[in-house]
Amino acid sequence: MSGPQAHPFRLDGKIAVITGAASGIGRAIAQRFAQQGAAVRILDLDDKAADAAAQELVRAGCDAQAFACDVSDQSSAKDVFGKLSRQGRLDILVNNAGVSHIGTVETTTEADFDRLFRINVKGVYNCTYAAIGSMKSQGGGVILNMASIAGTAALADRFAYSMSKGAVVAMTYSVAKDYLAHKIRCNCISPARVHTPFVDGYLRKNYPGHEQEMFQKLAASQPIGRMGQPAEVASLALFLCSDEAAFITGSDYPLDGGFFHLR
């Protein structure tokens, strides 16, 4: 047997850039892509954590490098992607970097709103803007954006976060439409609650002494009865960025344990 089906979901020879990849979902995606043969470039604001994530992969025999990048700053993004383009191709971009926020419109300050927009929305724009030229010139590529079920479903106390992730979904559709002729695919994943370090930090801060009780309550709020795992998001990301998904573009994939339709 020959061709892509002989070794499905392999990323051999591809260079994948993942933002916010020093921890959580981004790190899981970097690990999965590296295991499947990609050369991964880990971008994160925390340069020490990014370097630690890259070195872990290098010790496992993978091709990985770390770059400090503030995705909310276009000059920082352009500088890093300029370095990457001089290294070679840019086959895959995963716009994963983002922050969360809890609050209604009344409890969201202007500073809160600006921060969410700057990182979650402008960050996706900045990195896509910095990468798209290389993908065009090389004849194609894949962009995967990390959205959220909050972008398309009503969640209580997530006003600014929902706004930002709704914008990510809209940008996904727009980029997919505009770059069809350039063979650049663009999709997004919309997870429900995923067990990441953010969840643990949120519980420690807001429910000291009752972390486990609240964890179980949050997990049970999803129809499937538990939170998602970063590795599960990484599995879907791998499929969407692989050649097996070559017919898929302009799609938003819920990864939500039944949240959207089964609540």
Burial code of 73-108, b = ≥16 C-beta within 10 A, e = fewer?
A: ebebbebbbeebbeeebbbbbbbbbbbbbebeeeeb
pLDDT band with cut points at 50, 70 and 90 for residue 106 = very high
Residue 5 is predicted with a pLDDT of 60
Residue 262 is predicted with a pLDDT of 83
Q: Per-residue pLDDT for 154 more than 60? A: yes
- The DSSP secondary-structure symbol of 119 reads I
User: What average pLDDT score do residues 25-30 get?
Assistant: 98
Q: Any residues with CB less than 8 A from the CB of 105 and at least 6 apart, and which?
A: 159
Which of the pair, 233 or 3, is modelled with greater confidence? 233
Q: Where exactly does CATH 3.40.50.720 map onto the chain?
A: 4-192+230-250
* Contact between 94 and 57 (Cβ < 8 Å): no
Q: Per-residue pLDDT for 48 more than 90? A: yes
User: What average pLDDT score do residues 76-100 get?
Assistant: 96
129 is catalytic: no
Q: Per-residue pLDDT for 71 more than 50? A: yes
Residue 6 is predicted with a pLDDT of 67
Q: What percentage of the chain exceeds 90 in pLDDT? A: 89
Averaged confidence pLDDT in the chain: 95
- From the CB of residue 180, how many other CB atoms can be counted at a distance below 10 Å? 13
Q: Per-residue pLDDT for 252 more than 80? A: yes
Axis-axis angle for helices 74-87, 122-138 (nearest 10): 30
For the record, the structure tokens of 215 come out as 């964890």
**Helix, strand and coil percent figures for the chain, each rounded to 5:** 50, 15, 30
Q: How far from each other are the two terminal CA atoms of the chain, in whole angstroms?
A: 44
- pTM of the predicted structure, to 2 decimals: 0.95
Q: What is the pLDDT of residues 166-176, one digit of tens each?
A: 999 999 999 99
Q: Per-residue pLDDT for 47 more than 80? A: yes
Q: Per-residue pLDDT for 112 more than 60? A: yes
Q: Per-residue pLDDT for 1 more than 50? A: no
Q: Which amino acid is at 16?
A: A
Tell me whether residue 57 is exposed, middle or buried, using C-beta atoms within 10 angstroms of its C-beta: 0 to 12, 13 to 18, 19 or more: buried
- The DSSP secondary-structure symbol of 22 reads T
Concatenated DSSP letters of 176-240? HHHTGGGTEEEEEEEE--B--HHHHHHHHHHSTT-HHHHHHHHHHTSTTSS-B-HHHHHHHHHHH
User: What average pLDDT score do residues 56-71 get?
Assistant: 98
Longest dimension (CA), the chain: 60
User: What average pLDDT score do residues 133-156 get?
Assistant: 96
Give the class (CATH, top level) of 4-192+230-250: alpha beta
Distance CA 178, CA 99 (A): 27
User: What average pLDDT score do residues 38-58 get?
Assistant: 98
* Contact between 256 and 222 (Cβ < 8 Å): yes
Task: Give the CB-side neighbour count of residue 8, counting CA atoms within 13 A.
Answer: 7
Question: Residues 161, 202, 207, 253: which is the catalytic one?
Answer: 161
Distance CA 205, CA 198 (A): 10
Residue 16 is predicted with a pLDDT of 98
Q: What is the pLDDT of residues 240-250, one digit of tens each?
A: 999 999 999 99
pLDDT band with cut points at 50, 70 and 90 for residue 134 = very high
Question: Hey, which residues does 60 pair with through a beta bridge?
Answer: none
Q: What percentage of the chain exceeds 70 in pLDDT? A: 98
pLDDT band with cut points at 50, 70 and 90 for residue 51 = very high
